[in-house]
Amino acid sequence: DAEITQSPRHKITETGRQVTLACHQTWNHNNMFWYRQDLGHGLRLIHYSYGVHDTNKGEVSDGYSVSRSNTEDLPLTLESAASSQTSVYFCASNTGTQGRRNTQYFGPGTRLTVL
């Protein structure tokens, strides 16, 4: 069965370190998204990609970067982790078809703690 996976599921790091969170989907979806979820803020879009080599900034992109070298993967990098980036991170994907087929499939999430 097609799925979307994230790794690691839990990560503790120190301020200033570079951290990369992996996202892999086997749906063959064109579109991939990264969100962070914090209490009181819901889901906020960090970066998104509409296809290979395409990346775009979302609402809260400062301090984060992504790259899309193939259809299946969209790794999220925190260049220099800050305590404000402690959060739960969700990756999602969808087909990108115009109109109705744009529901998002979410990965299980990565809980990141920056000390």
Partner 1 sequence: GQQVMQIPQYQHVQEGEDFTTYCNSSTTLSNIQWYKQRPGGHPVFLIQLVKSGEVKKQKRLTFQFGEAKKNSSLHITATQTTDVGTYFCAGLRDSGAGSYQLTFGKGTKLSVIP
Taking the complex as a whole, the smallest distance from the CB of residue 77 to partner 1 amounts, in Å, to 21
Q: Say what the alpha-carbon torsion angle 31, 98, 42, 47 is, to the nearest 10 degrees.
A: 30
Q: Tell which one of 53, 62, 70, 98 touches partner 1 (CB under 8 A).
A: 98
Both tokens assigned to 90: 């969700």
Q: Give, as one character, the DSSP assignment of residue 98.
A: S
Residue 19 beta carbon to partner 1: minimum distance, rounded to whole angstroms: 20
The interface with partner 1 within residues 57-76 (CB under 8 A) comprises 58-59
Q: Which stretch binds partner 1 (CB under 8 A): 7-15, 65-73, 74-82, 105-113?
A: 105-113
The residue among 47 and 85 lying less far from partner 1, judged by its C-beta, is 47
Considering the complex, what minimum distance in angstroms separates the CB of residue 106 from partner 1? 4
Q: What is the DSSP string of 51-95?
A: ETTEEEE-TT-TTEEE--SSSSB--EEESS--GGG-EEEEEEEE-
Please state the φ and ψ torsions of residue 75, each to the nearest 5 degrees.
-75, 140
Q: Which residues bind partner 1 (CB under 8 A)?
A: 31, 33, 35, 40-45, 48, 50, 58-59, 90, 92, 94, 96, 98-100, 102-109
